[in-house]
Amino acid sequence: MTIAVELNEITKSYGAFKAVDRFSLQVERGTVFGLLGPNGAGKTTLIKMLTTLMRPSSGDALVEGFSVLSAGKSVRRVIGVVPQENNLDRYLTARENLTLHARLHGMRPDAYNPRIDELLEMTGLAARQHDFPDTFSGGMQRRLVVARALVHEPRVLFLDEPTTGLDPQSRRALWEHIRGLRHAMTVFLTTHYMDEADALCDRIMIMDHGASLADGTAAQLKDAFSRAHVYELELRGDGQGYQELFAGLPFVRSVERSGSSFRLTLADEDSLKPLMDCLGGAEIRKICLKEPSLEDVFIALTGEKVRE
Amino acid sequence: MFRGALSIWGRDMLVLRRGILSELIAVIAYPLTLYLAFGFGLKGYISEVGGVPYPLFIAPGLISMTAVNAAFDESSWSMWFHRRVQHTIEEYRVTPITVYDIVIGKIFSGFTQGALKGAVVFLVIALCTPFRIDYSHLPAYLLCLSISSMTFSCLGTICGTVIDKPENIGRVQSVVIVPLIFMAGIFFPLSSYPAAVLPIIKLLPTTAVFEGARAALLLGYLPPQYLINLLLSASIAFALAVYTFNRKMAE
């Protein structure tokens, strides 16, 4: 396995507060890696350290073998960055934005002009290349930021919440572009959209409070969570009195009620038979195993409380 | 070396080129109004200062004032805008250039704008008024104008780097820059100051800017004490600008 991004016990502290706490990770070259977490989990801090915008308090990270501490310039040479905000230059046209980026990477016009043509074509912006970004929709601006990050053909592309604020069509269009990059380069993205992570990522890590909580493919994470045995049960009638009954059963971990529908988390698979015994003569309309979504995994790991 | 600085300077010049006409009209209007109002309005009351006709006495300072104001404005607002509004500084910082490239590029943009706008005001005053000079004095004057623009560009860069609220940049201009400019004898001779204050006034970098400019344009040489003051001010301002920007980016 060739490692594209490696973090070794990296920490970022602000006084006593640790935004990222002894975080270690290895990302294989050519994969799409997704970092999920609620607001304030430490995702952006981590990306800022990996892109040399922020210096770690301790630990180190290697990007394509270059240390963010001692070889920042070499790191920046091999990365492309799509930040959370569209930091396009509104006084330059779309093409000029890409040209400036190429020049900052030391590219010559005979190298960057065909590359820019190709990227404008790929992102569907060729017809608008001489327009200013202020006249673009949010989705077009986002595509331009992605194109800009790709001008110098980076080996690792960092995308920090790339689809935040986009409409569903623009999101899907951007997903297509990102999918197209799979295997050509390593993609490291942060998001709090579960469907995005599910659709795009080969590997997902869920983090909160600066630390990793779970790591694997979307299927692995869902599978691990499915061992919690969540069942949806719907009774005929209003289900009055059953909440107390279920809550009192030793093998029931949690009960949620909505009218005559219940969501029960059982201790294990063997709990199903005693549950049915308890229900006795109750009229059951439906009982089924609830397949967890990635969002269920995320909520179970990071909690339901809204973050500031 | 400084490839990044050149690219950033190139970007700023491209943007300047696009709006050059409207920029120049705005830049020329202010000093030209002052020249006409003071130079001609007061001509009947103040015919000469130290043997120099009053319009000629104020002209070098007005041209320099345009240059240093333009250098300060461009550097401060541009740095602030790129850092706080467009966040383009962040885009520059994820490319393989150094923070020195960014700050030097921005300082040179301010310097270029200052020197360019000063030169245009000079041309307009020369074309539209009876103001005439000995053109062999021009190299000394341009040297003075360049160092002054560089100093004010560095000061503007420092303000744009450390100030987050835009209104505070305006306050620095009103409370620091404008008094420093007007105290330095653009419109009156330094001999008007009380003897006790004069040594302090002569140490001001703006005195070197305006008195130096006047001497250079009218006499053809830059007095050594002003040249040293200008070079020292520019060097200190440059070092401070680079240090401040580097420190801010490391935060």
Residue to mutate among B22, B84, B94, with most A CBs inside 10 A, is B94
Tell me the per-residue pLDDT of B152-201, one tens digit each, with 9 for 90 and over: 999 999 999 999 998 999 899 889 888 888 888 888 888 888 888 888 88
DSSP state of A185: B
A105 contacts in chain B (CB < 8 Å): 95-96
pLDDT (0 to 100) of residue B239: 93
Q: How many CB pairs under 8 A join A and B?
A: 59
B32 vs A106 pLDDT, higher one:
A106
Q: Is residue A255 part of a domain?
A: yes
CA distance B87 to chain A (A): 5
Tell me the per-residue pLDDT of B38-57, one tens digit each, with 9 for 90 and over: 777 777 777 788 788 888 88
pLDDT (0 to 100) of residue A226: 60
CA distance B156 to chain A (A): 21
A148 contacts in chain B (CB < 8 Å): 91
Q: Which of A76, A85, A100 sits opposite B11 (nearest CB)?
A: A100
Confidence of residue B131 (pLDDT cuts 50, 70, 90): confident
pLDDT (0 to 100) of residue A228: 63
pLDDT (0 to 100) of residue B86: 92
Q: Which residues 78-117 of B are in CB contact (within 8 Å) with A? A: 86-88, 90-98
Q: Is residue A308 part of a domain?
A: no
In this structure, the answer to whether residues A70 and A164 fall within a common structural domain is: yes
In this structure, the answer to whether residues A159 and A258 fall within a common structural domain is: no
Asked if A197 and A218 count as a contact pair (C-beta separation under 8 A), the reply is yes
The reply to whether residue B15 touches residue A92, judged by beta carbons under 8 angstroms, is yes
pLDDT (0 to 100) of residue B56: 82
Task: Name residue A131's amino acid.
Answer: D
In this structure, the answer to whether residues A62 and A200 fall within a common structural domain is: yes
Return the structure tokens found at B21.
């006409």
Residue to mutate among B8, B81, B85, B91, with most A CBs inside 10 A, is B91
Q: Which of A77, A87, A106 sits opposite B88 (nearest CB)?
A: A87
CA distance B12 to chain A (A): 9
- Nearest CA among B4, B127, B123, B8 for reference residue B66: B123
User: How many structural domains compose chain A?
Assistant: 2
The reply to whether residue A106 touches residue B3, judged by beta carbons under 8 angstroms, is yes
DSSP state of B174: I
Instruction: Look up the domain containing A31 and give its range.
Output: 3-217
B98 contacts in chain A (CB < 8 Å): 73
| Cα A283 versus chain centre, distance | 43
CA distance A308 to chain B (A): 23
In this structure, the answer to whether residues A94 and A121 fall within a common structural domain is: yes
In this structure, the answer to whether residues A127 and A201 fall within a common structural domain is: yes
Encode A76-114: b = buried (16+ Cβ within 10 Å), e = exposed: bbbbbbbbbebbbbbbbbbbbbbbbbbbbbbbeeeebee
Q: What are the mean pLDDT values of chain A's consecutive 10-residue runs (308 residues total)?
A: 91 89 92 89 91 94 95 95 93 97 96 95 92 93 93 94 82 84 88 85 89 84 70 80 84 84 82 83 79 70 60
Q: Is residue A37 part of a domain?
A: yes
Q: Is residue A299 part of a domain?
A: no
> Within an 8 Å CB–CB cutoff, is residue B141 touching chain A?
no
In this structure, the answer to whether residues A212 and A240 fall within a common structural domain is: no
**Percent helix / strand / coil, chain B, rounded to 5:** 80, 0, 20
B91 has a pLDDT exceeding 90: yes
B19 to chain A: nearest residue by CA?
A91
A87 contacts in chain B (CB < 8 Å): 86-88, 90-91
For A144, A237, B108, the CA distances from A241, given in Å and listed in that order, are 58, 11, 78
Q: Which of A76, A83, A148 sits opposite B90 (nearest CB)?
A: A83
The reply to whether residue A53 touches residue B97, judged by beta carbons under 8 angstroms, is no
State how far the Cα of B27 lies from the Cα of B32, in Å rounded to an integer. 9
pLDDT (0 to 100) of residue A164: 81
CA angle B125, B130, B132 (to 5 degrees): 75
Residue to mutate among B95, B109, B249, with most A CBs inside 10 A, is B95
Q: Is residue A275 part of a domain?
A: yes
In this structure, the answer to whether residues A194 and A271 fall within a common structural domain is: no
Q: What is the CATH number of the domain that holds A280?
A: 3.30.70
Q: Is residue A307 part of a domain?
A: no
In this structure, the answer to whether residues A102 and A193 fall within a common structural domain is: yes
Q: Which of A191, A217, A243 is the last residue of a domain?
A: A217
pLDDT (0 to 100) of residue A27: 94
- Cβ count near A29 (within 10 Å): 15
What distance, in Å, lies between the first and last C-alpha atoms of chain B? 25
CA distance A81 to chain B (A): 7
Q: Which of B7, B94, B98 sits opposite A53 (nearest CB)?
A: B94
pLDDT (0 to 100) of residue B94: 95
In this structure, the answer to whether residues A142 and A212 fall within a common structural domain is: yes
B2 contacts in chain A (CB < 8 Å): none
pLDDT (0 to 100) of residue B240: 94
